[in-house]
Amino acid sequence: MEGILIGACIGVLLGTISGCTPGIHANTMAGILLGVHPALLILFGPSVFAAAVTATLVTHTFLDAVPSTFLGVPDPDTAIAVLPAHDLCMKGLGEEAVRIAALGSAAGAGFGLVLFPLFFYLLPPFQPYLDWWIGLLLLAVAGLLVIRSEAPEWAAAILAVSGVLGSFTMAYSHLSWQVLPGGSPLLLPLLTGLFGLPILLKGAEGTIPEQRFTEIRMNRREIAGSACAGTVAGAIVGWMPGFSNATANAVLASFISYTRQGRGYILATSAANTANAFLGIAALYALSRARNGAMAAVATEMLPPVLTLVSAGAIAAVIAYPLTILASKGSRYLVRVNVRRLNLSVIIFLVLLTAVVTGPFGLLVLLLATAIGMVPPLVSVQRVFCMGAIMVPIMIWSILGVPLF
């Protein structure tokens, strides 16, 4: 138990850093921990490394709402959620947005622990069937989103073009640099270009309004419904191969409108993000499949008892929730900051980070993704269709068996 507690504390620290730093993913911290694993083994024992990686992942799912809300910078796991969250921030309700995200992550952790035994014991025999049908599910979700859009032709076109870009990016990912440890470095320029830079480039003038918080403006039924929907989506994504939380974002968008039900969407995506972390542990132990970079790092060593990872994740969730609430209060220091200058600073930072982490190929992906991301508002189409960059490659892999990543 001592090793679990030490690992959880290390993970909470690293997850807080990665969650609050734009462009840094929990997978990066997992790679760093993998590099110092021999020292951790000597100092603390074998269980500390796995506990630290798990706690980092879970903590990151809580704190990543902070830069998404106040800076408008998307995290690869919650790309679409940046839209309603940043919108609330510009209305002076950024602290509420972060608190909603924290509540969603807490619900995702709780429900994820409840679903853990069900997934762990009952689903493995059905896995070969699930791997194939999930592609058809995504195809149905994409079709539903297109049909329900205000301009179906443009929606289908954006979905297809972004899908081509996503497939191209994943197929030629070997052309990018791999400076930082952790997988999928090209998700940074891909999703930043589709969801981050277009918002920052069109940023409003003036200053960030005074942030105020009185209460979370959602009733219990809305909270429960969004939390359940997010947990189910996150659990499915955490179990299925090749998926990321970005896929869960797109699936949730077919049920919860991020424009009309922004608060519910923030809560649901946060619940999905955290539930994904816990069900990814179940997939690692039940199927011997690593669903994310953090679990891949854990799998490089002899696996400790499953209770070690689950306990570390639960401890991290308990600590990360009040940390996220505390971080939300930092919005008060952003009052009267010039929006245009802030956006320009963030844009420069993201471009430089992309150049350093992924090199020239990453900059090309960022440029192409930004060009596509600028189109939806011009043709009255929701930006969710840019998620074709993630959905189309997974559909190709699932249905046709052609791996692109």
What is the tens place of the pLDDT at every residue in 287-309?
Answer: 877 666 678 778 777 788 999 99
Alpha helices in 288-305 (DSSP H): 293-298
Is 184 inside a domain boundary?
yes
- How many CB atoms are closer than 10 A to CB 78? 26
pLDDT of the residue at 271: 92
pLDDT score of 345 more than 60: yes
Q: What is the DSSP letter of 338?
A: B
Is 211 inside a domain boundary?
no
For the chain, report the end-to-end CA distance as a whole number of angstroms: 38
CB-based contacts of 306: which residues, under 8 Å, 6+ apart?
A: 120, 281, 285
CA 193 to chain CA centroid, Å, is 15
pLDDT score of 248 more than 70: no
Instruction: Give 326's pLDDT tier (boundaries 50, 70, 90).
Output: very high
Alpha carbons within 13 angstroms on the beta-carbon side of residue 394 total 26
Is 405 inside a domain boundary?
no
CA pair distance 91, 209, nearest whole angstrom: 7
Long-range contacts made by residues 237-240, C-beta under 8 angstroms, separation at least 24?
237/272, 237/276, 238/112, 238/275, 238/276, 238/277, 238/278, 238/279, 238/280, 238/282, 238/283, 238/291, 239/119, 239/123, 239/130, 239/279, 239/282, 239/283, 239/291, 240/130, 240/131, 240/134, 240/291
Is 158 inside a domain boundary?
yes
The number of folded domains in the chain is 1
Is 320 inside a domain boundary?
yes
* Cβ contact 389:163 at 8 Å: yes
Across the chain, mean pLDDT equals: 82
* Cβ contact 247:391 at 8 Å: yes
Is 213 inside a domain boundary?
no
pLDDT of the residue at 206: 61
Is 42 inside a domain boundary?
yes
Dihedral angle at the C-alpha atoms of 236, 253, 170, 166, nearest 10 degrees? 160
Instruction: Give 67's pLDDT tier (boundaries 50, 70, 90).
Output: confident
Question: Which candidate, 321, 111, 57, places its Cα nearest to that of 231?
Answer: 111
Question: Which candidate, 292, 304, 331, 300, places its Cα nearest to that of 99?
Answer: 331
Which pTM does this prediction carry?
0.77
Q: Which domain holds residue 390?
A: 2-206+218-400
pLDDT in tens, 13-59: 999 988 888 767 676 677 677 767 777 777 777 788 889 999 999 99
pLDDT score of 340 more than 60: yes
Instruction: Give 253's pLDDT tier (boundaries 50, 70, 90).
Output: low
CA pair distance 103, 109, nearest whole angstrom: 10
Alpha helices in 374-404 (DSSP H): 388-395
pLDDT score of 184 more than 60: no
Is 212 inside a domain boundary?
no
pLDDT score of 356 more than 90: no
Question: Which candidate, 141, 253, 238, 244, places its Cα nearest to that of 186?
Answer: 244
Residues in the chain, how many?
Answer: 405
- How many CB atoms are closer than 10 A to CB 264? 25
CA pair distance 386, 142, nearest whole angstrom: 11
Quick one: 350 exposed, middle or buried, by C-beta within 10 A (0-12, 13-18, 19+)?
A: buried
pLDDT of the residue at 165: 94
